[in-house]
Amino acid sequence: MDPTRRPAVPAAPNGISPARPGIAGEIAAVALGGALGASLRGALDLAAHAVGLPSEVGTLAVNLSGTFVLGMLLARFGLARSRPWVRPFWMIGVLGSYTTFSTLALESRMLAHAQGDAAGGLLIAGSILLGLVAFEAGYRLSGSLR
């Protein structure tokens, strides 16, 4: 075995590493991550508003950045048992809460009322299309960095 290559996860003293979160631990990780993710989005919304960006641009930036990072994390860790906290805390908690679909739907509806249905449809469908690109970009970049 290559001695320079350390195992990704240090072995627990009992050899059965690492500890899987119990149901309570998983809920706590999701809740804590959710609180953090929502706060982060609140802060960025505020910052976008302060520099005069339209709210749609702020939402798009949040959604695309969060989706890019989720792609990276999924490529790096997948649903691996070796990092049992990555999924509940980072993927479900932080990134799930940081990104939003409901605000995107609301902003698309507002835009449709102000600028016509085509503009609203373009915002929601275009956002998801760009989201797919961001996800694939994160997924591939992370995979190629390994």
**Judged by CB under 8 A, how many residues of this single chain contact other proteins?**
51
- The span from the CA of 10 to the CA of 60, in Å, is 38
> Considering only residues 72, 108, 111, 142, which one is a binding residue for other proteins as defined by CB under 8 A?
108
Whether residue 144 contacts residue 135, with contact meaning beta carbons closer than 8 Å, is answered with no
> In this structure, what is the dihedral angle of CA atoms 19, 78, 139, 101, given to the nearest 10 degrees?
-90
CA distances in angstroms from 13 to 1, 18, 35, listed in the order given: 21, 10, 32
Question: Site mask, other proteins, residues 51-80, x = CB under 8 A?
Answer: ------------x--xx-xxx--x------
> Considering only residues 77, 86, 99, 142, which one is a binding residue for other proteins as defined by CB under 8 A?
99
Give me the least distance between CB of 6 and other proteins, in Å please. Answer: 29
Please give the radius of gyration of the chain, using alpha carbons only, rounded to the nearest integer. Answer: 19
Give the binding site for other proteins (CB under 8 A): 26-27, 30-39, 41-42, 45-46, 63, 66-67, 69-71, 74, 88, 91-93, 95-106, 108-109, 124-125, 127-128, 131-132, 134-136, 139
